[in-house]
Amino acid sequence: MARDHRDTGLNSLGFAKPKQDTRVVVAMSGGVDSSVVAAELATQGYDVVGVTLQLYDHGAALAKKGACCAGRDIHDARRVAEAMGFPHYVLDYENTFREAVIDEFAESYLTGATPVPCIRCNERVKFKDLLETAKDLDADCMATGHYIQRKIGAAGPELHMAADSLRDQSYFLFSTTADQLAYLRFPLGHLKSKEETRALAAKHDLIVADKPDSQDICFVPDGNYASVIEKLRPGAGEPGDIVDQSGTVLGQHHGVIHYTIGQRRGLGIGGLADPLYVVKLDPDARQVIVGPKDALATRIVPIREINWLGDRPLTSGDALPIAVKIRSTRPPREAILRPGADGLATVELLSPEEGVSPGQACVFYDPNSTRVLGGGWIWRG
DSSP strand E in 139-190: where? 141-143, 148-153, 156-161, 184-185
Grouping H, G, I as helix, E, B as strand and the rest as coil, residue 305 is strand
Q: Which of 118, 141, 218, 362 is catalytic?
A: 218
User: Cα separations (Å) of 14 from 131, 146, 223?
Assistant: 18, 18, 40
Q: Are 172 and 328 in contact (CB under 8 A)?
A: yes
Compute the C-alpha angle 50/56/58, nearest 5°.
Answer: 120
Strand partners, 44: none
The CA distance from 300 to 142, in Å, is 38
The CA distance from 84 to 38, in Å, is 8
List all residues 6 or more positions away from 159 whose beta carbon is below 8 Å from its beta carbon. Answer: 148, 149, 150, 170, 173, 176, 181, 309, 371, 372
218 carries an active-site annotation: yes
Q: Which of 68, 121, 141, 362 is catalytic?
A: 121
Compute the C-alpha angle 298/300/302, nearest 5°.
Answer: 115
Cα-trace Rg, the chain: 22
Compute the C-alpha angle 32/36/39, nearest 5°.
Answer: 135
Question: What are the catalytic residues?
Answer: 121, 218
